[in-house]
Homo-oligomer: A and B are copies of this chain.
Amino acid sequence: MIGYEIFNKTLKNMELYPVFGNPGTTEIPMLEDIESDNYILTLHDSISVGMADGRAQLTRKPSMVNLHSILGIGNSMAFIYSAYVHKIPMIITAGEQDNRHIFYDPLLSGNINDMISKYTKYSFEIRSANDIERAVRRAYISSITPPFSLSFLGFPMDTLEENAEFRNLTRPEVNSDIVDDRAVREICNEINNSGNPAMILGYEADLYGGIWHAKEFSRKLGIPVFAEPFASRGPYDSSDPYYAGDLPPVAERINKSLSAYDLIIMVGGDINLYPYSHSDLLSGRRIIKIGLDISGKIGDSYFMNPATFLRESLKYLHERKGEKIPVRPEVNKNSQIQRVMLKIHENFPGYTIADESISASPFLRQIVGYNQDSYFIGKSGQIGWALPAAAGMATVNPKVLCVIGDGAFMYTSQTLWTIRNYNLPVKLIILDNHGYGILRKFQEVNYENTGKYLTFSIELKKVVDSFGIDVRKNDENMRDIEWLRSHDGPAALIIRVDKPYGYNLFKK
């Protein structure tokens, strides 16, 4: 069988379709046998990776990306880095120049492994058509072995024209439901004997399907549940009575939020910081971390599936009277941004949100809230992530909302073409604050020199419209929000948010 036939058949066996990609000549051989229905074209390489990221977040299975040589990899490095930070399964492929003249460093050659391999668990360059099937399968296994990760495969053009045997290998699975019973008992014993415990949940709680167990867990103990600072996905049900809000990513404020608790059980997450504060983080506090993504930054660590831990611990935990759950802030209806978020909350129930409202994100998480598979943000801090991610999510979920700032939207506005072309049902709300709001805020708090070259204005409606997406522009009253939700197919609503609001993350 010819190499490119093997490639196509292997992708089918592995259920790796669709391929997200943006091809060049080096990829033409790889794609020869791939049907149009199995390929989603993007207009910039990085958008392919962003879409694959969004899709993998929801499917928990490897998504497949095909990039154009070292250039496509290069264009996508921030997205690749973000997927690496998100610890999701993904297989990245690229075509490479023909080995028979690679000595001459032809156009489009360049060592991809050098650029990408720090961010992949498995990286391999196909040597002959005989490798294709096994290597794709191995990349698959590697990416789903916990903790999930990225794989890279390079395909020199000539290898796809060679003949080899097709083995018809089956799609692999790797279990992740691993638990240590002795450890669970040990931890539960400590909880049972503690005075004042609290829980922090992180992204793994949702990634491994543990929110339901977490609710049982907190109910049994009656303890507050905080979300880890800057979780890549909503790690809990924010409507739950035990939900105590998101921890802010600032050492000083984390210390304050958790000052009342003598035992902190951190399940599937970690302490993530953003602006520097002088405080020593949780000094002297007893912290237990349970999960598959162990950093060792703080406290003691137990390596197991966090969802399984939550489930199994219910056997050993004693019910207790319960702690006072910290009161979460009311919506401030005098705040423009909070009113906007309230509208979103009321109009998009059951939607999965890809968030890049940046300086407004804390309000979105607070007011719109989240639950299983319902809230996602680029954890690396990357800008331009949410729109491609939303598009990728929309390949498996018909109810996807992207809430994004104007600055962020402009990074990857080309995603709209793919959304339009494949009729992906993304609803888009662009919060237009005329520039990079979070930077202005940071500048304002720390320096005198406010707003310098961070303010700009773009005719967003024309930009969106130019891609053939139905779009309206509203003031904060968002009278077209119902139109947006019920619109058939993708649509966008631009909201002018011109009132400054009190995002005080940087307040010293």
Contact = CB atoms under 8 A, between A and B. Distances in A.
Interface of A: 23-25, 28-29, 31-32, 36, 39, 41, 43-46, 68-75, 77-82, 97-108, 110-111, 113-115, 117-118, 122, 124, 127-128, 130-131, 134-135, 137-142, 145-146, 157-158, 165, 167, 172-183, 230, 249, 251, 271-276, 278, 280-281, 283-284, 294-298, 300-304, 379-384, 407, 410-411, 413-414, 417, 421, 436, 438-439, 442-443, 446-447, 449, 452-454, 456, 458-459, 462-463, 465-468
A139 to B, nearest CB: 8
Contacts of A294: 141-142, 145, 174
Contacts of A296: 122, 137-142, 145, 172
Contacts of A104: 251, 271-273, 281, 297
B442 A25 contact: yes
B32 A449 contact: yes
24 contacts: A23-B436, A31-B452, A31-B453, A36-B452, A43-B411, A45-B78, A73-B78, A98-B276, A101-B273, A104-B272, A106-B274, A115-B118, A118-B118, A134-B298, A138-B296, A139-B296, A141-B294, A141-B301, A142-B296, A145-B303, A146-B303, A167-B283, A178-B179, A410-B414
A384 B467 CA distance: 18
B102 A178 contact: no
A99 B128 contact: yes
B107 A295 contact: no
Contact of A71 (B45, B81, B131, B273): B81
B103 A158 contact: no
Q: Which of A130, A131, A276 has the most CB of B within 10 A?
A: A276
Contacts of A107: 230, 249, 272-274, 379-381
A75 B78 contact: yes
Contacts of A138: 103, 295-297
Nearest to A380: B71
- How many copies of the chain does the oligomer comprise? 4
Given A74-B80, A466-B465, A183 B177 contact: yes
A131 B103 CA distance: 7
A453 to B, nearest CB: 5
A112 B36 CA distance: 38
Given A80-B74, A273-B107, A443-B28, A284 B101 contact: no
A177 B462 CA distance: 51
A177 B178 CA distance: 9
Contact of A384 (B44, B173, B179, B304): B44
Contacts of A172: 296, 300-301
A438 B25 contact: yes
Contacts of A101: 251, 273, 276, 281
Contacts of A32: 447, 449
A24 B74 contact: no
Contacts of A304: 175, 178
Nearest to A296: B141
Contacts of A110: 81, 380
A448 to B, nearest CB: 9
A28 B439 contact: yes
B459 A466 contact: yes
Contacts of A174: 294, 301-303
Contacts of A134: 103, 297-298
Contacts of A36: 452-453
Q: Which of A113, A115, A157 has the most CB of B within 10 A?
A: A115
B177 A182 contact: yes
Contacts of A46: 75
A128 B101 CA distance: 10
Given A25-B275, A413-B414, A177 B180 contact: yes
A295 to B, nearest CB: 7
A113 B111 contact: yes
A105 B297 contact: yes
Contacts of A182: 175, 177
Contact of A145 (B108, B301, B380, B452): B301
Contacts of A462: 462, 465-466
Given A107-B230, A177-B182, A25 B439 contact: yes
A127 B100 contact: yes
A447 B78 contact: no
